[in-house]
Amino acid sequence: NPDPSKLFSSKVHGDPSTPMLRAYLGDSVVFRILHGMMNETHTFVVSGHGYRPERYDPQSRVTNALHIGIAERYDLATTAGGYQQMAGDYIYYDGRTSHLSEGSWGIIRVHDKLQKDLKPLPGNKKPKRSAKQLCPKGAPVKNFSVVAVNTALKFNPNAEDEIEVDFERKLLLANTDAKIFALEGEMAKAAADGRRPHPLTLRANIGECVKIKLTNRLKKGNASLHANNIAFDPLDSQGINV
């Protein structure tokens, strides 16, 4: 099935051959990451889950994406089910598009019911059930209207469109048919005064529930939106079919 919206779908293609990481909701999970490459760096991303790169510092930042340099190693601790404490399939992947397209991704499958082929951990013999709703009752709601559109981009008006870097690789600084996300209001302003819309930025306060209405206005193809490092329902708000 060549449909790009189904590339990560186990329902369509079956489970991937990369490691399937399985856990029960609420299990303690540790990713032990070791970089053994000679020439490349990587970005380790886990959807729907957060961890502290400095795991023993309770004041350190929480993230779900970490750049890993050559010969570096990390122990990244999190809780299965993530911020939202919901069962489901989550994707882990290399944030560098070249490595992702080469197959550097896999699935974290979080269960909220006991499975015959998966032993429960001590302290979590009876996994709790998934949260029934994402947003707490009474939480304020922020609504955003986002559009996916084609537009011409010139990243630096004083630079050439292409710059040769090394090994015959080129750095592209312009794209006549780029694809961007933008707030619908920004697109209206840009159409009125001819300015380029601002890069998409969605601002919300801690504790607010964010609802995004995404409209696809691309010339062709699908559009999807995946927001990192926030709570979401993995069944319908991950932005991809996993």
Q: Residue 152: its pLDDT value, please?
A: 86
Whether 176 and 229 share a structural domain: yes
C-alpha distances in Å from residue 142, one per residue of 14, 207, 234: 36, 11, 20
- Residue 237 CA, distance from chain mean position: 11
Residues 93 and 158 both lie in one domain: no
Do residues 148 and 231 share a domain?
yes
pLDDT of residue 106: 96
How high is the pLDDT of residue 2?
74
Q: Has residue 122 been placed in a domain?
A: no
Query: Are 163 and 226 members of one domain?
Result: yes
Domain tally, the chain = 2
The two three-digit tokens of residue 31, written as one number? 């990713």
Say if residue 62 is in the same domain as residue 152: no
Looking at residue 1, what is its pLDDT? 67
Q: What is the CATH number of the domain that holds 95?
A: 2.60.40.420
- 170 and 230 co-located in one domain: yes
Position 113 scores a pLDDT of: 95
Per DSSP, the residues of 147-209 read EEEEEEEES-TTS-SEEE-STT-EEE-EEEEEEEEEEHHHHHHHHHH-PPPPPP-----TT-E
Residue 119 falls inside a structural domain:
no
pLDDT of residue 32: 94
Q: Residues 144, 104: one domain?
A: no
pLDDT along the chain (242 residues), means of 10: 82 93 96 86 93 90 92 94 94 91 94 96 92 89 94 86 83 88 86 76 92 94 88 86 84
pLDDT at position 66, please? 93
65 and 166 co-located in one domain: no
Nearest 5°: the CA angle 240, 145, 91 is 15
Query: Do the domain assignments include residue 90?
Result: yes
Same domain as 73, residue 170: no
Are residue 85 and residue 28 in the same domain, yes or no? Answer: yes
Query: Domain containing 187: what range?
Result: 133-242
Domain presence at residue 117: no
Tell me, yes or no, whether 99 and 197 share the same domain. Answer: no
Identify the pLDDT of residue 151: 87
Please indicate, yes or no, if residue 125 is contained in any of the structural domains. Answer: no
149 and 187 assigned to the same domain: yes
Residue 237 lies in a domain: yes
Q: What pLDDT is stored for residue 156 in this prediction?
A: 84
